Structure 1
Amino acid sequence: MIFRLGELFCGPGGLAWGATHADIGDPNFKIIHAWANDYDENTCQTYRRNICPDQPGTVYHADVRKLDLTQLSPIDAFAFGFPCNDYSVVGEQKGMDGVYGPLYSYGIKVLKLYRPQWFLAENVGGLRNANDGKAFTKILDEMKAAGYKLYPNLYKFETYGIPQARHRIIIVGIRDDINVEFKIPSSAPYAKVDNTCKTAIEVPPIAPDAPNNDLTKQSATVIERLGYIKPGQNAFTAELPERLKLNVSGAKISQIYKRLDPDKPAYTVTGSGGGGTHIYHWSEPRALTNRERARLQTFRDDFVFEGSKESVRKQIGMAVPCEGAKIIFEAILKTFAGIPYEFMTANIEE
């Protein structure tokens, strides 16, 4: 059974890479790219280059609100990491009242138009609490009304061997006339994986000419400040001299000038934020390169990102970890193939 995958809000291709590389040992069950859409041009170029270089015309650069959803090719599977800006705990948490909050509804339209056999939707953990929890309930209700059995879960990717603490709600839906039941894949098989950020970044060494590996120039002040910050500390927990302290009132964001702890997974790679949020090396007085950040998101070194350094930083931060996505897509394929796998009870209330 070959599943043709359509995607909205596709990003640079973290989900798509996981889907198209999913392998359950049976060539009759696999996922292939059909079409994708994103509003950012560089992101679309990255996706075309790495996911479907022979089918560039199947990636539509457009605001989803202006995309003619009725003209897309038939699909059997659908993925959409609908924009999280209004649900993130880092943002203003406007939820459904924000500009981005209602965009999930375009995914619902695709479900109704194309009736794929299954779908995967992804968003931040903060989705559960937006609009006092009403946003999450509304989204689930609309997915059910479109004709799908739902299997939502809060995936903690570091427990699946990913070298990054990244917690995301992922909703798997299976069309309700199909007699299969999805189970949340267990994290137990990955318990002994070395997923420290140091190993992810250094093993194997990144080639000197690797793409997207330019160093960021650090100011003398930042270099001096980092000299006082120990691995795992940030600008607020380190003992800094007065002249190097940040003049920030209100919230003390824990990721500001935070050094990685080499013996743990990285903290969450983000796509936005100004100086101090770029993720800092545990021993060298510098921010990580985009290639190092991409490794924390489990992109292979031959995955080349298009656009400026800042655009690439955003693309990497917004992506779903490739290897984490692959685990979930393989569980979906095994579900349809009738192949048993280790599973666990969902850790999120429906």
Structure 2
Amino acid sequence: MIFRTGELFAGPGGGAYAAMTSQLVDEQGEKWGFTHAWANEYDPDTVETYKLNILNDPNATSVYCKDVRKFDLHDRAILGDIDALIFGFPCNDYSLVGEKKGLDGDFGPLYKFGVEALREFQPSVFIAENVGGLSSANEGEAFIQIVRELQATGYTLTPNFYKFEQYGVPQARHRIIIVGIRNDLAENGVEFRVPAPTTPEIEQYVTSSQAILNPPIPEDAFNHELTRHNPRTVTMLSYIPEGGNAWVENIPNEFRLNVKGARLSNIYKRLNRNAPSYTVTGSGGGGTHMYHWTDNRALTNRERARLQTFPDHYHFQGGKESVRKQIGMAIPPEGIRHIMMAILRTFAGIEYESVEPTIKLQPAILLKEKGEVVANLVRN
């Protein structure tokens, strides 16, 4: 079976690239995989990136460049039926960095369009993705509300807190991903299980230097332009050791930043070449571009794309800052691919190694487990 797949908040195609590269053949010779049906994304540059790399067609009409609030999810004559839905609803208001408005922000309520799409299309399976801070937004009530609304559309849910460095991604990127199986299928034995980590131990993690250096990136590679730093920034970086940030003790006073309360931040933070990188983000502003472990410079967009596990032939469209934002906001294909392959194996009836989910759908209270907030929810 090939799952016709729709996407909301599609970004530059991290989920779509994982989908198109997730395939298997079962013992009866049946092929399993995903195929693009339609996608929606509001940013024009990001839409062009998706069209070029996922569909190899800059004129593709199945990718809609619209604010999701103006996207007609009920136009079945155009959109047709889908078997799978992917939606990485905007994380801005749930991130642990920022104002943390949760459901009260401009972006927080947008998950409802994923709920609306599930009601309209009733696909066999869906994948919803957001930041780990979702579990604590609005004192945990946001996550509880979102899960209940997803369940109410007729799905059995398996939420899990994934640490992508444990799935071959050279980056400490932690995300809550909810996989939903339509209830009639779940009642007939289709049970999704959390795939076991492929690189569970620290010594198995793919490091930032392995990702960036192996193989070397050609100097003329696409999206590989260097940042033109001012001399003061270059000098300041020269005092920051590998893994350090702008608040290390040996920076002379004249080069220190006049910012309070940020000593543990990633501002002007260098990578540690022997560990996965810290989280690649799409945020702007000085000092947030990620910095090489020894060279006195920010990473190029191609280096950042490698940390996000996009292949070098994936050409992001738009200006340098637009590309940086696209890369930072994307789902890393290598991380989400393991989940998509587990979905295929689930439907094909193929066994795979799994682990217990870290988020349990039980009484509605908040617990702290190993320093992380985990919401235990009521199953409707």
Matches within 5 A, 1:16-27: 16-26=16-26
Question: What is the alpha-carbon distance in structure 2 between the residues aligned to residue 11 and residue 258 of structure 1?
Answer: 26
Structure 2 gaps, min length 5:
362-380
Which residue does the alignment assign to 2:125? 118
Give 1:70's aligned residue.
74
Contact 2:165 2:173 in 1 (8 A): yes
Alignment partners' CA distance in 1, 2:247 and 2:282 = 22
Tell me which of 54, 57, 65 is aligned to 1:61: 65
CA shift, 1:252, in A, is: 3.5
2:292 and 2:235 map into 1 onto residues whose CA distance is 14
The reply to whether residue 259 of structure 1 matches residue 270 of structure 2 is yes
Secondary structure in structure 2 of the residue aligned to 1:316: helix
CA distance in 1, matches of 2:264, 2:326: 22
Contact 1:230 1:238 in 2 (8 A): no
Deviations 1:117-149 (A, max 9, x none): 000000000000111100000000001000000
Tell me which of 152, 156, 159 is aligned to 1:152. Answer: 159
Whether contact under 8 Å (1:229, 1:238) holds in the other structure is no
Cross-structure match for 1:278 = 289
- 5+ unaligned residues in a row in structure 1: which ranges? none
Task: Report the Cα offset of residue 266 of structure 1.
Answer: 0.4
Match for residue 46 of structure 2 among 43, 46, 54: 43
**Counterpart mapping for 1:186-265 below 5 A:** 186-188=196-198, 191=201, 193=204, 195-252=206-263, 254-265=265-276
Moved more, 23-32 or 267-276: 23-32
Q: Distance in 2 between matches of 1:238 and 1:333?
A: 51
Q: 1:35 to 1:238 in 2, by over 3 A?
A: farther
Mapped partners of 1:73, 1:8: distance in 2: 15
Deviation at 1:189, TM superposition (A): 5.5
Match of 2:32 in 1: 29
Other structure's SS at 2:191 match? coil
Residues in 1 aligned to 2:199 and 2:273: alpha-carbon distance in whole angstroms: 23
- Corresponding residue for residue 328 of structure 1: 339
User: Match for 1:108 among 108, 115, 127?
Assistant: 115
Alpha-carbon distance in 2 for matches of 1:133, 1:24: 38
Local SS of the residue matching 1:56:
coil
**Number of the residue aligned with 2:150:** 143
Query: Identity of aligned pairs, percent?
Result: 56
1:94 deviates by 0.5
Could you say what the CA RMSD is over the residues aligned between the two structures, in angstroms? 1.3
Q: How many residues align?
A: 350
Return the match for 1:185 from 195, 207, 219: 195
Question: How far did 1:23 drift?
Answer: 2.3
1:91 Cα deviation after fit: 1.6
What's the secondary structure of 2:31's corresponding residue?
coil
Question: Partners of 2:205 and 2:117 in 1: how far apart?
Answer: 39
